[in-house]
Each structure stands twice: as structure tokens, then as C-alpha cells.
Chains A and B, each alone.
Chain A
């Protein structure tokens, strides 16, 4: 089965600073990878997805992520943090084979943005 590891359960940045949220995956085949954001008491909203096209993926709200096969990583970045970016972020890999369609999520990273 595929798995996802998010390094750092909490990340704190100042407003205007670079945001870097780390995600590593394990997969024996080229994966589909996703980043979701979850605001308090809300469901998950897709930020961006990698589906074997361009390795640098741009998403909503100024976020982007780069797929690095050699490092099995899919880190999420944003050049300049905004207060509204404070939320929990989840990296996910899409299963293949008999579990096709299933998303396996990481543990999540809570992003705090300081004024």
C-alpha cells in the first residue's frame, strides 16, 4: 500500500514569509498526488494535484508544489504567507490497483501565520 509522510505537524511563519510544507510518499508506480487544505469545521478543499504532466504544479491561492521522483517528495510552497493561509494542510496519494480511487492522506500540517 502507498503511504504519505508529512514532516512537521505544526509550521509557524510570519506574514509575508515563505511557506514550505513537506510531503514524502511511497509508491511503486508513478503516483497521483494531491494537496488539500482544511479550514476549521469545514471539509477538505483541493489546492493542487500532480497527474504525471508538469512536475511543477500551480494551484489556487498562490500555492505550488514540485514533484521530485528521485526524492519521492511533493513539497508545497507559497512565496509570501497571508493570514488567511492559516489552516491545516494534507498531502495525499491516490491508490492504484484494487484500491483504485482511494486517497491515502498524511497526518496533516497545521500552518500558523503570525502578523
Chain B
């Protein structure tokens, strides 16, 4: 079974430029998460989708970040414009939510460097 796929794996951009990350979750998983992991820290949730609906986006900086999950499968996370402080690893995870203890499966992440 294929795992969570993310692309690109690495991205270097100049500040003020836009950038987009793509995630393909595990087939059949209804819940998708985007996390941001700063250097030397644990991941922090940006947004959670249940099917097509964003059910928790309280930590998403909405002035520059946006996300979508069309058709409840793939998802795209966008930053426009990027700032130096956005340099981090962006992780996508998916799960099949059932009794509340469902495991989240993580992709390899996209390492963003803003110069």
C-alpha cells in the first residue's frame, strides 16, 4: 500500500514569492492534516480536513496561508507571499477516523527554505 505522498520534497524560494505544496493521502483515508515543523521542534497542526471540510484551521495564518482539499482526496497548501519565518518542513498526514484512536500516517514532508 502506498503511503502519503508529498511533493516537492525540497523548495527554495525568495521571500515574497508564492509557493505551493501538494499531498496525496493514503487511499480511503477521510481525514487529512497539514503540520509545520520548525527546526528543532515538534510538528504543529496548521489545518485538519474531514473529507472536503476544513474542521480545524485555527492555527493557519490566514493572511498568507490557504489550503484546499477538492473532492476530499488530494490537498494543496499555499503560501503567498512567503516570509523568512516560513522556512520549515511541511508535513502532511492522513488517517481513517473511527473510534478516536486512529493512527495518523505521515508523508516525508516538504522542506521549504525562504531566502
With A and B bound together, what is the CA distance between A36 and B93 in angstroms?
A: 13
Number of A residues near B (Cβ < 8 Å) is 27
Verify A44–B101 contact, CB threshold 8 A. Answer: no
Q: Does B87 reach chain A (CB closer than 8 Å)?
A: no
- Asked if A49 is at the interface of the complex by the 8 Å CB criterion, the answer is yes
Question: How many residues of B are in contact with the other chain, CB < 8 A?
Answer: 28
In the assembly, what is the distance between CA of A103 and CA of B46, in Å? 11
A61 at the interface (CB under 8 A from B): no
Closest chain A CB from B91 CB (angstroms): 6
* Docked complex: B77-115 residues within 8 A CB-CB of A: 91, 93, 95, 97, 100-101, 103-109, 111
Q: A41-B108, A43-B91, A44-B91 are in contact. Are A105 and B103 (CB under 8 A)?
A: no
Which A residues are closer than 8 A to B by beta carbons? 4, 9, 32, 34, 36, 41-46, 49, 51, 90, 92, 94, 98-108
